[in-house]
Amino acid sequence: MSDRSLIFPASEFRRRIRALQSEMARDGLDALLLTTPADVYYTTGFLTRFWESPARPWFIVVPATGDPIAVIPAIGAALMGRCWIKDIRTWSAPDPVDDGVSLLADALSETVPASGKVGIPMGLESHLRMPIGDFMRLQDRIAPRRFDDGTRAVYRVREIKSAAEIAKIRATCAVADAAFARVPEFVRQGLPLAKVFRDFQVALLQEGADWVSYIAGGAGKGGYGDVISPADERPLQAGDVLMLDTGAVRDGYFCDFDRNFAIGRASDEVRRAHAALYAATDTALAELRPGMLARDVHRVLTDALLRQGATPGGGRLGHGLGLTLTEWPSFTPLDTTELREGMVLTLEPGVEIALGRILVHEENIVLRPEGPELLSRRAPEQLPEIMG
């Protein structure tokens, strides 16, 4: 496996690096410094759950031309060695005296002219996954080279998914489709939500998820209160609406969509809310096109909900999807990102049924020239009722 990654062929990574280098040239960046799990996997194929340990930083340097340099803790050398990356420099981390800073400063100094600029993602939705004290030391060490904003270059490339990436996300969506189809097998009145959350994760694993990085949900009479709280021990009751949402992962790619279930008969109020969400999603599936802006999608969904007589919920109504559970852009009134062919997106309208009672609905799509193509199996038009 000397010239291929574990999941994609080297050609996929070379194409990504060339695309990044093209955007870097446009922004006058002589290198990119990448530190997050998604950016490291995207450029190298290095995929591990070991990121869960905050102990060690990991660095990828993308030069203006040529292949990336990996500056990483020695514990990752074997795995990185099976990826397509040739220039791998390691240190024994964590090192309280010099945790890779000298090694990284050398790599940047070799790669970037003294008057040059190193791009790092520093904009909305980004963070730098290294100690900020070490970042300050690094700034001093590489001077007069300086850091500059690399957000646009990275986002512009990563937001367009290749055919291989779309296939991965589609496969993860299929895992969740299969798990959602099994919900009536393990959900019934009287079960605590915490048990439902566990059983749903089990179903996702059994249907092929490598791991389950995210599930969320809610249950409440005629709607739920919020969608980010952990499950509690309250038993499901007739009249509840149960929502389950998932970010399952397969080959490093996420899905992110939810499904609703009525426990017993759904009230007319809940049916109307569900119908409004379904119709608004249909409208977006019909109307989205490359060239629209992210904020236009917010308007399309909001207007469609209003036409249905529903009260749109607050917050964003969808977002990008891929290497993380959520990616830019965001379907808010403020996001002016242009939609482009090959973006993988979620459509996530929500309605407020009453104060503190909401209903949400989510699908995953890839944007084609002629409009959205579903990656998730379309939710049933009628809210499923679990009568057991």
- Please, which of residues 47-86 interact with a second copy by CB under 8 A? 47-50, 52-57, 74-76, 78-79, 82
In the region spanning residues 110 to 129, those forming contacts with a second copy, defined by CB under 8 A, are: 120-129
Provide φ and ψ at 77, rounded to 5°. Answer: -65, -40
Among 109, 162, 311, 332, binds a second copy (CB under 8 A): 332
Distance between CA atoms of 134 and 138, rounded to whole angstroms?
6
Tokens (6 digits) for 31: 């290198």
**Residue 198 and residue 77: Cα distance in Å, rounded?**
35
Among the residue ranges 23-31, 96-104, 182-190, 234-242, the one whose residues contact a second copy (CB under 8 A): 96-104
| Closer of 43 and 330 to a second copy (Cβ) | 330
Q: Does 201 sit near a second copy (CB under 8 A)?
A: yes
Buried b (16+ CB within 10 A) or exposed e, 238-258: ebbbbbbbbbbbbbbbbbbbb
Residue 197 in contact with a second copy, rule: CB under 8 A: yes
- What is each CA distance from 266 to 7, 107, 166, 262, 283, in whole angstroms? 44, 61, 36, 5, 24
Q: Tell how strand 385-386 and strand 257-263 pair up.
A: parallel
Residue 261 or 328 having the CB closest to a second copy: 328
Q: Which of 28, 66, 131, 380 binds a second copy (CB under 8 A)?
A: 131
Residue 247, beta-bridge partner list: 214
Please, which residue, 215 or 367, has the CB nearer to a second copy? 215
Let me know: does 358 contact 331? Beta carbons within 8 Å. Answer: no
**Interaction between residue 334 and a second copy (CB under 8 A):** yes
**Subset of 338-367 contacting a second copy (CB under 8 A):** 356
Name the minimum Å distance from CB 60 to a second copy.
16
Query: Binding to a second copy by residue 324, rule CB under 8 A?
Result: yes
Instruction: Work out how close the CB of 49 gets to a second copy at its nearest, in angstroms, rounded to a whole number.
Output: 5
Backbone φ and ψ for 242, nearest 5 degrees, come out as -105, 130
Q: Which of 291, 309, 315, 380 binds a second copy (CB under 8 A)?
A: 315
With CB under 8 A as the contact rule, the residue among 188, 198, 272, 299 that binds a second copy is 198
Q: Report which of 29, 331, 322 is spatially closest to residue 152, judged by C-alpha positions.
A: 29
Window 249-308: residues binding a second copy (CB under 8 A): none
DSSP three-state, residue 119: strand
- Which class for 381: exposed (0-12), middle (13-18), buried (19 or more C-beta within 10 A)? exposed
Using CB under 8 A, pick the residue from 88, 112, 216, 248 that binds a second copy: 216
